[in-house]
Homo-oligomer: A and B are copies of this chain.
């Protein structure tokens, strides 16, 4: 777990002016990584770092002579069309590049002359997935979400007996994870509202899930579990993640082996990955209720108890087609917080995932599961926000929503703020719902 260092100093300023604005997600204390190219280009994607409203092109930066040694080697690895090679290098390389970039982008840095030509405005960029995702696992660590969903099925015992022992997770579909901005097609599928034969058609209960995605760093060999004490060094960073869900397909298909078509039609990952080092000022204890069991030893460490979680604020916004046409801004549907929502820490997810010998690889994605607070206005999904579709949400356009309609755009945002630290943000994770392309 990386400590606070000079790169986090709240008074650092950058010669990239927009990085010093109060409202930016990307001050010099953040320096998240992504993969981009000039919008409309047919050239290859390459790694970059967000700074204010600009992107520092890492291939150009490495070639400019502004970086040296380990930082330059890391920038070369990070300049490829996906960040996997850089993710595989581990914390020392990540940290060397962060420190070098922090120094080179500061006000007064002598590298300014060489780096000014390496910037591209974010408004002129398009993005690809930051990593080639070999495997995607979705966890279920949002305890208020698990409780709210469980209550629909088991009012007296909403949480299953394993919940506070096992970081519940399942394997997701990696091929349909797309970067923010890509369309999401409403899935066709079977559902059964009542007893009787199932129906087939487009999902009528299409939902989002507000999640954080953790991108794996070096990973492990098959048969070699990662101990809790070193687990976080195998996580490169964090990005906003929306695990779209078809709530009518899910109940009919999911017994006994879990969700399948209700989830695998698409998931949206934000373009910017905030490193764990950038999150150092915002670490927090994972709250436990009195009487909760002590985690088993493979999930337990003093440091994990003290500061295994991260204080990330989250929100969901919705903009319908009609709202966009009328010039209405996206409306906030809910606000939530990772530290309040998450029963398990990122390190515990790594330790659990590998304890049986499963191998993680650089670029693998671990979703947190839906991050809801205990109250409806903190819900990370419409299922919870509308009480299972029974309480429609009124929108500024006069429209109402229980579940998503075609043309709706869902935008996830997140940020960290704490006194004595510079606020950092995660950018946006947004996709628009499209009608199914064609019936089969």
Contacts of A192 in B (CB 8 A): 162
Contacts of A249 in B (CB 8 A): 356
Of A70-78, A169-177, A307-315, A378-386, the one with at least 4 CB within 8 A of chain B: A169-177
Contacts of A190 in B (CB 8 A): 165-166, 296
When chains A and B are docked, how far (Å) is the Cα of A226 from the Cα of B200? 16
The reply to whether the CB of A256 lies closer than 8 angstroms to some CB of chain B is yes
By beta carbon, the residue of chain B nearest A222 is B176
When chains A and B are docked, how far (Å) is the Cα of A171 from the Cα of B367? 15
Let me know if A176 and B256 touch, CB within 8 A: no
The reply to whether the CB of A436 lies closer than 8 angstroms to some CB of chain B is yes
The reply to whether the CB of A438 lies closer than 8 angstroms to some CB of chain B is yes
Contacts of A183 in B (CB 8 A): 223
| Interface SS majority for chain A | loop
By beta carbon, the residue of chain B nearest A257 is B170
Let me know if B175 and A265 touch, CB within 8 A: no
By beta carbon, the residue of chain B nearest A195 is B161
When chains A and B are docked, how far (Å) is the Cα of A222 from the Cα of B29? 37
Let me know if B357 and A185 touch, CB within 8 A: yes
Are A253 and B174 CB-contacts (below 8 A) given A261-B356, A356-B265? Answer: no
Contacts of A185 in B (CB 8 A): 222-223, 357
The reply to whether the CB of A198 lies closer than 8 angstroms to some CB of chain B is yes
The reply to whether the CB of A291 lies closer than 8 angstroms to some CB of chain B is no
Let me know if B171 and A172 touch, CB within 8 A: yes
Of A53-61, A358-366, A414-422, the one with at least 4 CB within 8 A of chain B: A358-366
When chains A and B are docked, how far (Å) is the Cα of A252 from the Cα of B164? 12
Are A187 and B357 CB-contacts (below 8 A) given A169-B260, A200-B298? Answer: yes
Scoring A135, A189, A200 by chain B CB atoms within 10 A of each residue's CB, the highest score goes to A135
Contacts of A150 in B (CB 8 A): 256
By beta carbon, the residue of chain B nearest A187 is B356
Contacts of A198 in B (CB 8 A): 162, 165-166, 296
Let me know if A200 and B297 touch, CB within 8 A: yes
A174: contacting residue among B135, B258, B260, CB under 8 A: B135
Let me know if B293 and A135 touch, CB within 8 A: no
Count contacts on A: residues with CB < 8 A to the other chain: 76
Q: Scoring A residues 330 to 362 as 1 if CB is less than 8 Å from chain B, else 0, what string do you get? A: 000000000000000000000111111111110
Contacts of A352 in B (CB 8 A): 261
Let me know if A225 and B359 touch, CB within 8 A: no
Task: Tell me the minimal C-beta distance from A154 to chain B in angstroms.
Answer: 10
By beta carbon, the residue of chain B nearest A138 is B257
Let me know if B162 and A255 touch, CB within 8 A: yes
When chains A and B are docked, how far (Å) is the Cα of A355 from the Cα of B257? 19
By beta carbon, the residue of chain B nearest A231 is B440
Interface residues of A in 259-302 (CB under 8 A from B): 259-262, 264-266, 293, 296-298
The reply to whether the CB of A140 lies closer than 8 angstroms to some CB of chain B is yes
Task: Tell me the minimal C-beta distance from A165 to chain B in angstroms.
Answer: 5
Scoring A358, A359, A434, A437 by chain B CB atoms within 10 A of each residue's CB, the highest score goes to A358
Let me know if A222 and B189 touch, CB within 8 A: no
Contacts of A252 in B (CB 8 A): 162, 165-166
Task: Tell me the minimal C-beta distance from A189 to chain B in angstroms.
Answer: 5
Contacts of A297 in B (CB 8 A): 200
Contacts of A353 in B (CB 8 A): 261
If A175-B364, A203-B356, A354-B440 are given as contacts, then 10 extra A-B residue pairs at C-beta distance below 8 Å, sorted by A number, are A135-B174, A162-B192, A166-B252, A173-B358, A175-B361, A185-B223, A187-B356, A189-B355, A189-B356, A264-B356
Can you list 18 contacts pairing A with B, beta carbon distance less than 8 Å? A138-B257, A150-B256, A162-B192, A168-B256, A169-B260, A174-B174, A176-B359, A183-B223, A185-B223, A189-B356, A197-B293, A198-B296, A200-B297, A223-B437, A224-B438, A254-B256, A254-B258, A265-B358
Those 4 A-B pairs whose CB atoms lie nearest each other, nearest first: A258-B258, A187-B356, A185-B223, A225-B440
